[in-house]
Chain A
Amino acid sequence: MSLTNDRIKQRLIEKFGEPVSGFEELYGLLSFEAPKEMNLKILQFLFDDDELKFRFLTDLCAVNYPDDKGRELAVVYHLHNLVDNIRLRFKVFTNVQEPDVFTASKLFSSANWMERETYDFFGVNFIGHPNLKRILNVDEMDYFPLRKEYPLEDQTRIDKDDAMFGRGGTIV
Chain B
Amino acid sequence: MSEHQHHIKLPEGSIEKQTTTLNLGPTHPATHGVFQNILELDGERIVSSEQTVGYIHRAFEKLAERRPLYQITPITDRLNYCSSPLNNMGWHITCEKLLNIQTPKRVDYLRVIIMELARIADHLICNSIVGVDAGAFTGFVYVMEYRELIYEIYEEVCGSRLTTNIGRIGGFERNFSNTAFEKLEKFLREYPKVLKEFENLFTRNRIFMDRLVGTGAISAERALNYGFTGPNLRAAGVDYDVRVHAPYSSYQDFDFIVPVGNTGDNYDRFLVRNEEMWQSLSIIEQAYRKVQEFKGADAEVFHANVPEYYLPEKKEVYTKMEALIWHFKIIMGETAIPKGEVYNAVEGANGELGFYLISDGGRTPYRLHFRRPCFIYYQAYGELTKGAMLSDAIITMSSLNLIAGELDA
- A→B interface (CB under 8 Å): 26-27, 29, 31, 55-59, 61, 63-64, 76, 78, 82, 85, 87, 89, 108-110, 112-114, 117, 121, 134-138, 145-146, 152-153, 160, 164-167
Contacts and interface: CB of A to CB of B under 8 A. Distances in A.
B325 to A, nearest CB: 17
A135 B53 contact: yes
A26 to B, nearest CB: 5
B379 A136 contact: no
A31 B371 contact: no
A78 B238 contact: no
A121 B65 CA distance: 14
Interface in B324-341: 333-334, 336, 340-341
B376 interface: yes
The majority secondary structure among interface residues of chain B is: mixed
B289 interface: no
B340 A165 contact: no
A136 B53 contact: yes
A112 B354 contact: no
A153 B65 CA distance: 11
A153 B238 contact: no
Nearest to A27: B342
A63 B358 contact: yes
Nearest to A162: B362
B379 A146 contact: no
Query: Ordered nearest first, which 9 A-B pairs have the shortest CB separation?
Result: A110-B227, A136-B54, A166-B363, A136-B57, A61-B369, A167-B362, A59-B371, A166-B362, A109-B226
A61 B369 CA distance: 7
B376 A114 contact: yes
A27 B363 contact: no
B379 A112 contact: yes
A57 B336 contact: no
Given A63-B367, A138-B54, 15 more contacts: A27-B342, A31-B341, A61-B356, A64-B367, A78-B356, A78-B371, A109-B225, A110-B227, A110-B377, A113-B379, A121-B61, A136-B54, A137-B57, A165-B363, A167-B362
A156 to B, nearest CB: 16
Given A110-B379, A152-B63, A58 B352 contact: yes
Contacts of B340: 26-27
B97 interface: yes
Interface of B: 53-54, 57, 59, 61-63, 65-66, 97-98, 222, 224-227, 238, 240, 245-246, 333-334, 336, 340-343, 345, 352, 354, 356, 358, 360-364, 366-367, 369, 371, 375-380, 408-409
Contacts, number: 104
Contact of B225 (A26, A63, A108, A152): A108
Contacts of A27: 97-98, 340, 342
The majority secondary structure among interface residues of chain A is: mixed
B331 to A, nearest CB: 13
Query: Which of A85, A110, A112, A114: most chain B Cβ within 10 A?
Result: A110
Contacts of B380: 109
B353 to A, nearest CB: 11
Contacts of A117: 375
A117 to B, nearest CB: 8
6 contacts: A26-B342, A63-B358, A82-B224, A109-B380, A136-B408, A136-B409
Contacts of B54: 134-138
A146 B343 contact: no
A114 B408 CA distance: 12
Contacts of A137: 54, 57
A161 to B, nearest CB: 11
Contacts of B343: 29, 58-59, 78, 87, 89
A138 B345 CA distance: 30
Given A82-B240, A109-B226, A167-B362, A145 B356 contact: no
B61 A113 contact: no
Contacts of B97: 27
Contacts of B408: 136
A152 B67 CA distance: 11
Contacts of A134: 54
Contacts of A58: 227, 343, 345, 352, 354, 371
B243 to A, nearest CB: 13
A18 B48 CA distance: 46
Contacts of B377: 110
B259 to A, nearest CB: 17
A108 B377 CA distance: 12
Query: Which of A63, A76, A113: most chain B Cβ within 10 A?
Result: A113
A108 B409 contact: no
B222 A109 contact: yes
Contact of A110 (B226, B345, B362, B409): B226
Contacts of A110: 225-227, 376-377, 379
